[in-house]
Amino acid sequence: MKPGERLRSRRSRAARSSPRPERAVDAALDHLGALVGVDAGWVVRSATPGLARLIGRPGATAIGRSLRQLLSPASAPATLEALARAAQAPGARVVPARLVGDRPALIVPVPTPEPSAEIYLFVSDALAEPSGAATAEVFRARLLEIEQELVDATLLAAVADDLAGALDPGQLLPRLADHALRLCHAHAVGVELLDPQRGVLELAAAAELGRRPIVAPAVPADATLAGRALAGDSTIELTGEEAERQGARYAPDPDTRVRALLAVPLTAAGERLGALVFTRTAPRPFAPAEVRRAQQLAGRAATAVRNARAHAALRRQLADLREGQAEIVQAEKLAALGKLGAGAAHEINNPLAAIVGNAELLLRREPLTAAAQQRVERILEAAYRAARVIRQLLAAVRPQPLDLAPTDVAAVLREAVAARRRDLALDGIQVIDELAALPSIPADGRQLAQAFGNILDNAHDAVKAIAPGEGRTIRLESRALPGRIRLRIENAGLPITDESLPRIFDPFFTTKAVGRGAGLGLSVCQGIVSAHGGRIFAENLPAGVAIVLELPAPAAGPGPPAPA
């Protein structure tokens, strides 16, 4: 054991070879008398073992019977009346009484910190013995201990109820730190949780008297006092220089000096979860009552922490299950589209080709009035739109094989913007290019250009829907990350509703007005990005929507610099 370190272990050899202090105190209590709980009708509801000695029969026989039956019949009415007055008195009052068999005794109502369904009475015959004068002080001292234990039990029960109601670790752990701070009169409290796979302790929550934030990195479990306490299932206290060194992890600023440190393990059902760590800046160790409260709090909190972690794991599994179900549904939709697409494309493309060919001949070779020409142009526009839907449908159900080559993805995106620059300018839309230099990656530039074009077309429609002069912008950003590159295309249009956001990549789902879109553009984008081993997702902005693409990138140097 290190200098300045005190071990308070529940499994120490000394504890197994000699009576525990709590048992010694209980034995002294049984020798002095008994603690009896009665309800408002003076019916006995609970009693400690010492009652058997006082009444001359097993204490269990008194449970459920009136307290009057434990008293001498002659003095019972007066005793109960005096007890009723004593129970209402602000301080503990001693009531002389005679038990069955005319045995003299003293009865003291024990104050409780909150209204309770039971009234606790301490019944003692100690002062009737020859050494009564000597035991009176012990009697009064034990009464104070009982009162404090009742206060602790009430507070811990309230804390346990509060913690049991929180199944979200994000709510539970800060509450636990706050309760621990108050119960044990600490300067700061840290809740350390063990990551068994990495063997590290993470500071999951902390509380400090000044309410300043405490942030600390994960550390190897065996390098900390909390880890040693958890490994030995022991409560350990440190003082002196070692406490100051270990306590720096829980100090909100470098000027805070920790003088005493207490680590209490968190274990539930044999599972090692972590530890509660209490710090104190005052140069005094933690009192035995504070250590006891810390241990009792840890015992109650460990179950709540275990339940919260299990609940969080179940929620993650449920989310994974839902995601898997969504992928299955998506695959079934694409399978159905595959069966439909081949036949539909053939049956629709042939009539479309005739419509487009004849309409173009009318425009080129026949003299038409202005009205007739306008109608033919509308026919062509509708036919082109239908042909585009057919192409998107085939792209969704029959993905083309990738033709991979080193590709500057940022340059492909800029080319897609350049192809639409005239239409964007006509609608007063400004493209803000903040693309950074990116490494070249193996990719199919033609298919990526198609994906970028679909995203830009959607962004164009979204921005065009807002009034001119209100910031019609499309912003392009890129970033190189470890093992991947990220491109972000933001538009300043209206955000997508929370109900629609998870569905925008589904085939045939669209937020556009009827006739403005088939709902296949983003589905095609998802197929292209997935084929490259990447991912695509959308997120709402305070004003607008961002489409984010991530593509795998091998370790390489930066690509060509972005233009000024």
72 by Cβ neighbours in 10 Å (0-12 / 13-18 / 19+) ranks as middle
Nearest to 33 by CA among 143, 170, 188: 143
CATH number of the domain at 352, please.
1.10.287
The reply to whether 128 and 224 lie within a common domain is no
Is residue 236 domain-resident?
Answer: yes
Average pLDDT of the chain, as a whole number: 80
- Which pLDDT band, with edges at 50, 70 and 90, does 508 fall under? low
Non-local (6+) Cβ contacts of 164 within 8 A are 304, 307
Is residue 7 domain-resident?
Answer: no
Is residue 180 domain-resident?
Answer: yes
How much is the average pLDDT of 132-138?
A: 52
The reply to whether 220 and 142 lie within a common domain is no
546 by Cβ neighbours in 10 Å (0-12 / 13-18 / 19+) ranks as middle
Kindly list the distances between the CA atom of residue 202 and the CA atoms of 163, 273, 455, in Å, as whole numbers in the listed order: 20, 11, 41
Is residue 331 domain-resident?
Answer: yes
Is residue 190 domain-resident?
Answer: yes
SS3 percent helix, strand, coil of the chain, rounded to 5, is 50, 20, 30
CATH number of the domain at 153, please.
3.30.450.20
- Of 129, 162, 195, which residue is a domain's last? 162
The more confidently predicted of residues 137 and 297 is 297
The reply to whether 416 and 534 lie within a common domain is yes
The more confidently predicted of residues 361 and 345 is 361
The reply to whether 373 and 495 lie within a common domain is no
Per-residue pLDDT tens digits for 73-132: 999 999 999 988 888 776 667 888 899 888 888 888 877 656 667 788 888 886 554 444
The reply to whether 138 and 178 lie within a common domain is no
Specify the range with the lowest mean pLDDT, choosing from 289-303, 328-342, 355-369, 531-545.
328-342
- Which pLDDT band, with edges at 50, 70 and 90, does 67 fall under? very high
* Domain interval for residue 63: 23-162
The reply to whether 420 and 548 lie within a common domain is yes
Strand arrangement, sheet containing 535-541: 430-434, 473-481, 484-491, 544-552, 535-541
The reply to whether 454 and 439 lie within a common domain is yes
CATH number of the domain at 487, please.
3.30.565.10
The reply to whether 325 and 311 lie within a common domain is no
CATH number of the domain at 278, please.
3.30.450.40
Give the pLDDT score at 355: 87
Is residue 562 domain-resident?
Answer: no
User: Three-class SS of residue 561?
Assistant: coil
DSSP codes joined into one string, 461-528:
HHHHTSPTTS--EEEEEEEEETTEEEEEEEE-SPPPPTTTGGGTTSTT---SPTTS--S-HHHHHHHH
The reply to whether 282 and 358 lie within a common domain is no
Is residue 15 domain-resident?
Answer: no
The reply to whether 428 and 383 lie within a common domain is no
Is residue 13 domain-resident?
Answer: no
The reply to whether 174 and 310 lie within a common domain is yes
Please tell me the total count of domains within the chain: 4
The more confidently predicted of residues 92 and 312 is 312
- Radius of gyration in angstroms for the set of CA atoms belonging to the chain, rounded to a whole number: 39
Query: In the predicted model, is pLDDT for residue 263 greater than 90?
Result: yes
Give the pLDDT score at 514: 45
